[in-house]
Structures are given as C-alpha cells and as structure tokens.
Structure 1
Amino acid sequence: MNRDVVISGGGPVGLMLACELRMAGVDVLVAERLPEPDQTIKAGSINLPTAEAFYRRGMLPALQALVQEDMARMREFMKSRGAPTGKMVPPVGHFAGIMVSSAGVDFEDPAFRDVGPAAGVVVVRQQAIEALLAERAAELGVEVRRGVELTGFEADDDGVTVHLGDDEIRAGWLVGCDGGRSLVRKGAGFDFPGTDPAVTGRQALVELTGAEALRPGWNHTDGGIYVHGPMPGRILTVEFDGPPEDRDAPITAQELEDSLRRVSGMDVRVTKVHTATRFTDNARQASTYRRGRVLLAGDAAHVHSPFGGQGLNLGVGDAVNLGWKLAATIRGWAPDGLLDSYTSERHPIGEWVLEWTRAQIALMRTDERAKALRHVVTDLLNTGDGATYLAKKLSGVLHRYPIEGEHDLTGRGAPDFAFADGTRLGEHLQDGKGLLLDLADSPDLRGTASGWADRVGVLTAKTEPALTGVLIRPDGHIAWATEDGTTAGLEPALHRWFGEPA
C-alpha cells in the first residue's frame, strides 16, 4: 500500500479524522480540491462534545483564545447597536429562531455534572477551527495536498485505488469527508434517502446602509425570517418559496439586498459583500457509513439545514468516533465488529439532527397555523424545564452510545472528573489511547487491565464521586464503570473495545 488511509476533503472533519489517525501511527493522506481554505461564512458555534474533543487532545487553550476573539467581535456589534457591552452571557441557543436565555436553565441537572472547562467554549467560527486543526495536522506530520481533486477510485476486498489528479495511489481505506455532494459517496454506491428542499436561505457578511432599521437577532415576519448579527455585518434570510434555481450561481449584493428587503420590509442597501452562501433544508442521510473499504463522515454522510448549528458538531463527532476504530483495524488489534460500530453509534445521532432541523423548518413557516404553534413552543421553551431540555439537547450532554453495561454512565461521554492532585480527566486523554481510572487504588483492577497496557493507560487517582473504576475509550466515552470496588464486567469490556490482550 502507498498509504494506510486516503481522506477526500480537508475541511474540519477531514482534518480532525487525519489527526486522530496520525496519533495512532497511521499513514494518512488528506486530499483537498480547494487550493486555499474556504472563507465562506459558515457555522459560528460548537457544542460540548466538540469542545471536549479538542480539550482531550490538548487544544483547549488555543480554542479559548479563538472564543475571546469572536466574543470581542460580538461586543463590537452590540456596542454599535447601543446595547450594554459588559460581560456577555451567550444564550443557550435557539430553536427555529426562538432564542432561549441561559438564565432559566437548571445547570444543577445531573446531565451537566463535571462538564469541566470545555463548557465555556461556545462561540467560535468554523474557519478558525479549521485553521487550528490544520496547524495540529502539520505538527503531527499529516500530509495535506491542496488543490488536488479526487477524480475516481476502485475499491476491492484488499484496498482502494484512488485517483488524485494525475496520481494513482493504492490505499488500505478511503474516507469521504468531501461534503454534501460527495464524490466518494456517489462513487461507492451509498444510498442517500431523505426529504427534498423547500426553502432558500442566504447568509452573508456584508456592508449595509440603513442597518439601524433592522432589529438585531432572529426575527419572524410575514415574508420569512431574517437575522442581523451577532457579528458586525452578518445577515441571514430564509424564504419559503422553494429551493434556489441554481445554488452554484454567484451571490450578488443585489440578490442579498432584495431578499433582505422582502423579508424585513426595511429600506436597506447592501453596498459590499465580503462572503456569502446559499443553503436549503435538504435533509438526507446515508443508511450506512461504511461499504467495504470505503467510509463516510461529516456532510458526506448526512446533510440538513444549518439551524441549531449541529453540522460541524456532527462531523467532528463522526471523526472522533471513527478515528480510533479505523486505526485499531489497520494496526491489527480491533475486535470483531469494532469498525461497524461506527455506523451503529453515529447514525442515530445523525438521524436526530435531521429530525431536529426538519421540525425547526416546520415551525419557522409563515402560515397562521405555524405562527400559533410557535407561540405555544415559545411559552414552553421559556419555562425552566423547557429551557433546561433545550440546553441539554443543543449542548450534546445527552449523547449516549448503545454500549452494554449496568452502570448509568456506560455509553455516555466521560464527565471531566476533578482529581485530588488538581488535574482533570481531560488532561489525561491527550495520547489518544483508552484509559482505566482506578479510583480505589485497586491492585485487582490494575491487574485485570495489564494485558492491554499498550492500548489502555491506567490512572490511579482520587475524586469525589462514589465510582471505584471507569474504563474510557479513546473517544472519551465510558465503556464500563463500577461503584462496588469489584472488577466484574471489566475484562469483557476490555475484550469488546480493545481486542485480545497483548
């Protein structure tokens, strides 16, 4: 093989996956058709599992610095609108443009326990995340070829022959991280069922005259929806008149101005466009994320409208789940079924995101029935229970994989336990391996795990919870936990997720 893995697509998902593979010693090549990073306006926030994924790989300080930059830009916008510019507390988020304040959220709910410092990372631009991951990939020695497009491939039982421009590369595996129109998905014959688009959305960073007439935030009107802010010059419109005739046509200042005028009813002028994009509510998902030696991640596996900001989060989650499993398969220690668990664990979360975005489109409509329903949902979301429910769903703290085990934590993302020595769990997961927490100084616990020492580290520590032992997978999810000091169930869990002992 020329390469262990070829990844088609060098956006955040492809780069995150490449970093995870390279940490495990896998030879990986990333092929990206764009010669330079795409600066088109995209996602502007991340959820807790995404922030934790960066935290567990040592990138939290850099991510926090990016958050400070974006918060400064938000303050600039608020100041321009005459709003207070003191300490800003971001809202929980929105559902169909219904903003929900964090003031009503019960953060004492057990789902939020031990969330750690990653919980403070919310507002950060996708382009900044991509730049951070590109730097990380370079540090790890990942080869990223820009301006090189995948033009075709042939897969067989032993590998994949990949055509990159004039080059032909033989790889063990091919992963499509090449977006919603994925050539990899189409070429490998993945089905892609779902619902057709019904709306046209436009998002842009522009220069405006008459902007003072626009209300900041999300606004529902008889013409659709418009958003102004929270960054200077950012506008978004949604019109319920069907999908665009040509999504690839250049977006002009006139098109953006006309849409904003139709929806807002205000006399505004778009004088300059810095970046702009169209989007729809096309919602589709591959029924499986693997066909033989070809896999999908990110938008190649699932597409949906951007409402709720879950697209980037969903893709990073795919990459973190897939990375260690594919590396284990390549290195020869993966137990039976490990790689197929990628689809069984990630597909339900993607399915939820598609349903979540479809529901928001239904609630955003401008007819009288949708308006009446929106009033009801607004009232519900402004209750304590409603705000807390939305916060738990949007933050990702409820994500749970179908992992067998009796303890309530099994399958959940590991809480960021604070240890007696002043460290936290996230600081001990930076090597990309599994970790067994020995919280009762148990020789039996350590002895049981000794055969997997090359794949599972052991940390003997003290912490407040009643837990006595926790087995954590490389992606940060709990594979086994106990409170009674015994090792019952530990060895089967080690076999299930880390193969045979060395």
Structure 2
Amino acid sequence: MDDVDVVVVGGGPAGTMLACELRLAGVRTLVVERMTEPFGHAKALGLHARTIEEFELRGAHEDLLDGAPKLRGGHFASLPSPLVYEVLDSRHPYGLYRTQVEVEELLTARARRLGAEIRRGHELVRLEQDDTGVTAGIRGPDGEYQIRSRYLVGCDGGRSTTRKLAGIEFPGQEPSLAVLLADAKFSGELPVGEGMGPLRPYGVVRPEKRAWFSAVPLFEPGLHRVMVFWYGRTFPDRRAPVTEQEMRAALVDIAGSDFGLCDIEWLTRLTDSSRQAEQYRRGRVFLAGDAAHVTFPAGGPGMNMGLQDSMNLGWKLGAAVHGWGGDALLDSYHSERHPVGELVLRNTRLQVVLLDPDPNLRALRDTFTDLLRMPQVNRYFAGLGVALDIEYDLPGAHPMIGRRMPDVPLVTPESRRYLSEYFHCGHGVLVMLGRAAGASDAGTAWKDRVDVVTGTAAEPDDRLANAFLVRPDGYVCWAGDPVAEAAELRAALETWFGAPLR
C-alpha cells in the first residue's frame, strides 16, 4: 500500500492548482485523473482579475500573461451596458483570454516541476476514512489498488465520484433551458446581432420563441463559439452526443440559415442546472471546483472559482499535515468558500433570467441596462464577477480584514518591489510599514511559516494600517498597530499559523 499526505482526485485546473499549492507547502501529493489524456476542447475561455492576482502571488503569472489577449470589459447577461474593468482596484484590471486547455497545461507542468505525482488513467472507485486518514481504492490500467493518505480532495467535476462516495448532498436548481454549443467556422456571412450585448456581435434573437443564437469570435482566425438557446425547453438526455445535423437544424430554426457552418471542432450541450454541495468538508475529505459547485457559465465563473478554492484550501491542508493547523483552520475552508459559491450561483441564476428574450421580461432587462450605466452599480457587478470584492468574515475592526491585500509597491532598504513578490514561497507575510518597522520581531516565533517584511509604501494609500498580517492566499487576517495591539496580533498569528516555535 502506497502512502502520501494528500490524494487529489481530478487533474483539471482546480486539481492541478491544488497540487501546486500542496507541493509548495512540502506536502507529498498524488493526483489521480480518470482520463488518459487531457480534454482537448476549451470548456472555459478566460481568467478573471483575482485569478491573475493569485497566479502572481506565486510568481506563476508571466507564462499566463505572455501573448494572451486582454479583455478590458465584460458583460452582465449580455445586456447592452458593458461592465467596465479598468476602474477596478487591481494591477490587472482586465480579463485574460486563456483557455481551460492552456491553463491546465501550464498548471500540470508546474505541479510536476514542484514534485507532484500525476497518474492519468487512474480513477477513484472506493473511499473509506477513519480518525487518522483516508483509504482510497483506485482503479488503474493494471487493476485496482489502495492508497492511504492523510486527506483526500475531490476535484473531479460536477459528477464527482468523491462527493458521492463521501455521502455529501448536492442540492440545486433543475434545468429551465437547453443550449447547444459549437466551436466552428462559417463560410457565409453572419447576421449582426440585435440586443446581444457588447461581446456577442453576431446573432439573432427570437422573442416569440424565447430563443436566440450568438456567434462570438475566438482568437483563432475565423473560429467562433456558437450558442443556441431555447428557454422553457430541456434535453431528454443531457449527455447525448450532439450531431452536426442537430446543430445545423437548430440554427435554421432560430435564424432561417446555418450560414455555412463548417470546420466544427467541438459540439456539446449545456443547461442552467446549478448545484452546490451542502458541505465542502466531511472529515478528511474535501471538495473543490465543480465537485463543490456547478453553475451556468454566465461570465465564466466556473474555472476561476475552482482555482480560487484551491488557493484557499492548499495552505490550510499543508498546515494540518505539518501539525500546526487544526480542525478550526480546516473548517474555515467551508465557512469561507461556501458563501462565495452561494453568491456566484445567485449571480449566474440572475443572468439566466435576464438572458431570456421573453417579451414579458423586457422591462426587467431595460431596467438592469439602465442600472448598469450607473458607475456604482457597474462597479459592483464588475467586482463581483471577477472576484475582487470577496470578503471573508474574519474577526477584527480594520476594514481590510477579510479582504485581499492590495498589491502595493513596497520600498525596503534593499529594493522597491510589489508586495505580491513576497508570497512566492507560499508563506504568510507580516508587513510592517513606516514606524511599525521597529516591531519587526513580532513574527519571529512563527518564522518557519510567516515572513516579516519591513518597509514603506511607495505611494500614499489611505487603506493601509501600520502593519498587516496576510495569509498565504493573499487575504488580510489582521491589521493594526503591532505595538499597541500586540495581543491581537499574537492571537491572529496563533489562529492562522498555529502555536509559536519553542
């Protein structure tokens, strides 16, 4: 029987991101993936600002940014008022066109460089846990075998075997629409869309049918992502393969022509079914990514939310494996990420309603279009959509506690660097600014887990306290004066980073 610290079930973006985080924390990690080869088609097409920031926290953003087109705006339910990203408080106020295939490839290579083992063609078939660990039954090319681990994380998608074996309920909303999707080209001229929103230049809307289609240009010349929507219709079999004939007939039904549909690369079905696991943790078993939540891809939240789940969970599992993180820290994964999932599902369900061209909903769509022209409302939905405004419910009075730490330029005796550069090794960071630098020994007793950085902010920033304690995932868990509030700082260090060194 093999032994590892953590088994990750699923080698998609969430699973490989988690493997990177675990290895950065020095955790023996095994990834098992049912598919023998990576899925070759891009389910997701882009990364949000917060996801880019998290890659930068690990120094893994340069390959991600290299040559990738940037999207300076987004949409909310394809309404005519675009979301404005450039006003967002981030060094990366844009979306990044990186397909799920590319992200998974980058993360897989990084996980392997860091020392994670990835076994393709191996799937979870049994699971038992006790007080000291998890025994997983794995079926591989040579038959079934067992792996014993301290913890196991299911990153194995919406139909998660891990979730089912762990007995975690997956309640949610049943489908109310049917969508056919194709990545394809056209030999004919496409119709310019009416009411399709800022990112959908081609398409036809049929209010009387409660149906529409759009063709969004991708970055490969001539290639489009084609989607045909029918409200009030469901598929008899969601998993049935889509044929070219079915896709052509759908276009003719909505628009009267298939516009010379050709060179089809991928065909699939979508619905607006949305579900969320009741628990993200059961004992020593955790869920992340689509195994924990599935939603309609309005605004592209799925891959991004899964990557952010893994950033939240990885360092906490590392702490538990190394003995300084207990059950309260592990429980914080569910208490922090489950509300985020609820909020995202609410957001996408609202967009599904607004995407319905039913004439009876026109007043609602027109009202939201007007609201999105208001800068404050536009900023709210933009920040929500790209996860920059996540706020965890953490104790403390300072307004930055529970929020992401701004990536401020920091001047130290040695250099001028952005704060994100101090997180590359996956430690927490205690930032001492200005006159607080004299208290730099405050984190000495946690020096194996928390790095202390002293300096001054290169630019004035009213949000900044004298000192910040920032978790490895970039969220502030304490802020204040390290001398006057020394007891509060020590309590935060013990809460998030365990007992001090002797």
Contact persistence 1:66–1:128 (CA under 8 A): no
TM-superposed CA distance for 1:389, in Å, is 2.2
Q: Give distance in 1, aligned partners of 2:395 and 2:23.
A: 29
Contact persistence 2:436–2:482 (CA under 8 A): no
1:188 maps onto 2:166 in alignment: yes
Unaligned regions of 5+ residues in structure 1, if any? 72-89
Residue of 342, 356, 372 corresponding to 1:365 = 356
Contact persistence 1:10–1:31 (CA under 8 A): yes
Query: Per-residue CA shift, 1:427-461, capped at 9, x if unaligned?
Result: 11100010000112536632221100000001111
TM-superposed CA distance for 1:51, in Å, is 0.8
Partner of 1:203: 181
TM-superposed CA distance for 1:23, in Å, is 0.5
Partner of 2:197: none
In structure 2, do the counterparts of structure 1 residues 214 and 442 end up closer, same or farther at CA, with 3 Å as the change threshold?
closer
Residue of 199, 206, 209 corresponding to 1:221 = 206
Partner of 1:128: 102
Q: How large is the Cα RMSD of the aligned pairs?
A: 2.0
Contact persistence 2:72–2:94 (CA under 8 A): no
Structure 1 range deviating more: 144-153 or 245-254: 245-254
TM-superposed CA distance for 1:267, in Å, is 4.4
Structure 1 range deviating more: 332-341 or 248-257: 248-257
1:475 maps onto 2:473 in alignment: yes
Q: Give distance in 1, aligned partners of 2:351 and 2:51.
A: 22
Query: Per-residue CA shift, 1:170-204, capped at 9, x if unaligned?
Result: 11111110000001101110011111111112222
Unaligned regions of 5+ residues in structure 2, if any? 194-199
TM-score, structure 2 normalization = 0.90
Partner of 1:288: 279
Structure 1 range deviating more: 349-358 or 204-213: 204-213
Partner of 2:82: 101
Query: Per-residue CA shift, 1:381-413, capped at 9, x if unaligned?
Result: 123233222222212221011111110000001
Residue of 398, 401, 405 corresponding to 2:396 = 405
Q: Give distance in 2, aligned partners of 1:387 and 1:377.
A: 10
Q: Give distance in 1, aligned partners of 2:31 and 2:201.
A: 38
In structure 2, do the counterparts of structure 1 residues 383 and 434 end up closer, same or farther at CA, with 3 Å as the change threshold?
same
Residue of 107, 122, 131 corresponding to 1:148 = 122
TM-superposed CA distance for 1:230, in Å, is 2.8
TM-superposed CA distance for 1:153, in Å, is 1.6
Equivalent residue letter for 2:96: V
Q: Give distance in 2, aligned partners of 1:183 and 1:352.
A: 25
Contact persistence 2:75–2:83 (CA under 8 A): no
Of Structure 1 and Structure 2, the greater strand share is in: 2
Query: Per-residue CA shift, 1:234-290, capped at 9, x if unaligned?
Result: 212221143322222222211222222323344423233212221111111111101
In structure 2, do the counterparts of structure 1 residues 263 and 372 end up closer, same or farther at CA, with 3 Å as the change threshold?
farther
Contact persistence 1:41–1:205 (CA under 8 A): no
Q: Give distance in 1, aligned partners of 2:95 and 2:418.
A: 17
Q: Give distance in 2, aligned partners of 1:460 and 1:480.
A: 16
Residue of 351, 369, 372 corresponding to 1:378 = 369
Tell me the matched-pair count. Answer: 475
TM-superposed CA distance for 1:378, in Å, is 1.2
In structure 2, do the counterparts of structure 1 residues 153 and 301 end up closer, same or farther at CA, with 3 Å as the change threshold?
same
Helix, strand or coil at the partner of 1:501: coil
Helix, strand or coil at the partner of 1:213: coil
Q: Give distance in 2, aligned partners of 1:299 and 1:473.
A: 24
Contact persistence 1:40–1:277 (CA under 8 A): no
Q: Give distance in 1, aligned partners of 2:30 and 2:258.
A: 50
Helix, strand or coil at the partner of 1:320: helix
Equivalent residue letter for 1:184: T
In structure 2, do the counterparts of structure 1 residues 203 and 91 end up closer, same or farther at CA, with 3 Å as the change threshold?
farther
Contact persistence 1:335–1:500 (CA under 8 A): no
